[in-house]
Amino acid sequence: MEGYGPSSYGDRFADVYDDWYRGLSDVDATVTALLDLAGSGSVLELGVGTGRLAIPLAAAGFDLGVTVRGIDSSAAMLDMMRVKPGAELVATQLGDMVDDMPDGPFDLVFVAYNTLFNLAEPDRQAACFRAVAHRLTPGGRFVVEAFVPDDPPRDGSAVTVRSMTADRVVLSVSIHHPAEQLAEGQFIEFTEAGTVRLRPWSIRYAPPHELDTMAAAAGLQLERRWFGFGDREFREGDGRHVSVWHRT
Least confident range of 17-31, 89-103, 188-202: 17-31
Shared domain for 12 and 105, answered yes or no, is yes
Shared domain for 136 and 14, answered yes or no, is yes
Shared domain for 82 and 165, answered yes or no, is no
The pTM assigned to this predicted structure is 0.95
Q: Which domain holds residue 199?
A: 156-203
Shared domain for 164 and 214, answered yes or no, is no
Q: Is the pLDDT of residue 77 over 90?
A: yes
Q: Is the pLDDT of residue 230 over 90?
A: no
3 found inside a domain: no
CATH of the domain at 84: 3.40.50.150
Shared domain for 122 and 79, answered yes or no, is yes
- Give pLDDT, residue 81: 98
Q: Which residues, 6+ apart, have CB-to-CB distance to 176 below 8 Å? A: 153, 154, 155, 156, 157, 158, 182, 183
Shared domain for 62 and 117, answered yes or no, is yes
Neighbours of 99 (CB within 10 A): 12
| DSSP letter assigned to residue 223 | E
Q: Is the pLDDT of residue 82 over 90?
A: yes
Choose among 136, 123, 229, 233: nearest CA to 181.
123
Extended beta strands in the chain, E state: 42-46, 67-72, 90-94, 106-111, 136-147, 156-164, 168-177, 182-191, 196-204, 220-226, 240-247
Shared domain for 211 and 226, answered yes or no, is yes
Asked if 171 and 160 touch (Cβ cutoff 8 Å), the reply is yes
pLDDT tens-place string over residues 142-193: 999 999 999 999 999 999 999 999 999 999 999 999 999 999 999 999 999 9
| Structural domains counted in the chain | 2
- Give pLDDT, residue 239: 96
Shared domain for 127 and 143, answered yes or no, is yes
Shared domain for 108 and 48, answered yes or no, is yes
Shared domain for 182 and 115, answered yes or no, is no
At residue 97, what is the residue type? M
CATH of the domain at 183: 2.20.25.570
pLDDT tens-place string over residues 17-75: 999 998 888 999 999 999 999 999 999 999 999 999 999 999 999 999 999 999 999 99
| DSSP letter assigned to residue 199 | E
Shared domain for 87 and 38, answered yes or no, is yes
- Give pLDDT, residue 22: 87
- Give pLDDT, residue 23: 84
Q: Is the pLDDT of residue 135 over 90?
A: yes
Shared domain for 89 and 134, answered yes or no, is yes
Choose among 30, 21, 18: nearest CA to 61.
30
Percent of the chain with pLDDT over 90: 96
